[in-house]
Structure 1
Amino acid sequence: MAKGQSHHATDRSVFLDLLKETRTKAKLTQTALATLAGVSQPYVSQVEAGKIRLDTIQLRNWLHACGSNLGRFGRALEKRLA
């Protein structure tokens, strides 16, 4: 962990990296994900940059648009945070 960086900030970074990776592994651009999830491309960009946080239902919709689900994402997140 970088000096002065909290565990929360590190965990958040891991979460955001996995979120973006989920989209890119699905071979979706931000624009394509936005269309599938019913949001705008700038919204997707802001979420991936950590400027907007997703609630659980929004995360579920995002993951479903990427062909994933909460269970799969949660397992991958737990593995990376362990």
Structure 2
Amino acid sequence: MHKSLYSRPNDVFLALLRDVRLERRLRQSDLAVRLGRSQAIVSRVESGARRLDITELVAWLAALDTDIVTFAKQLHARLEGDIAGVKRRAAKRLRTATFGRS
């Protein structure tokens, strides 16, 4: 399995984090104040240089006036095509492993 840090789903996740912030008309520095963190941290997270754990994500989303369920639904909608592709590739690998190449 490849590292998720450099994957399309992670790119979509980061883009959604940024998009939610922009929809709220917040600058990185505005979000940083709400989080009690530095603007540099917000920048590093949005660029993918720093990851959020689940508890940080919940706090981040609260600072953006949203919740994890809403965010997860939005993320799922953006990833739906990717998820279908992963399932198709996994099924193909299983068929190949089970029945040999056809």
TM, length-normalised to structure 1: 0.89
Which residue of the other structure, out of 15, 19, 42, is the alignment partner of 2:13? 15
1:28 aligned partner? 26
- Taking the aligned partners of 2:24 and 2:61, their CA distance within structure 1 comes to 10
State the 1:73 CA deviation: 0.3
Higher normalized contact order (CA 8 Å, seq sep 6+, divided by chain length): 1
1:43 aligned partner? 41
Tell me how large the CA RMSD over aligned residues is. 1.4
User: Runs of 5+ in structure 1 lacking a partner?
Assistant: 1-5
Which residue of the other structure, out of 59, 63, 66, is the alignment partner of 1:65? 63
Q: Which has the larger radius of gyration?
A: 2
Report the number of matched residues: 77
| 1:68 match: secondary structure | coil
**Percentage of pairs with the same residue:** 38
More helix by share: 2
TM, length-normalised to structure 2: 0.72
Q: Which runs of 4+ in 1 moved over 6 A?
A: none
2:13 corresponds to which letter in structure 1? Answer: F
- Taking the aligned partners of 1:27 and 1:65, their CA distance within structure 2 comes to 13
The superposition leaves residues 14-33 of structure 1 with CA deviations (integer Å, 9 ceiling, x where unpaired) of 00000000111111110000
- Taking the aligned partners of 1:38 and 1:77, their CA distance within structure 2 comes to 25
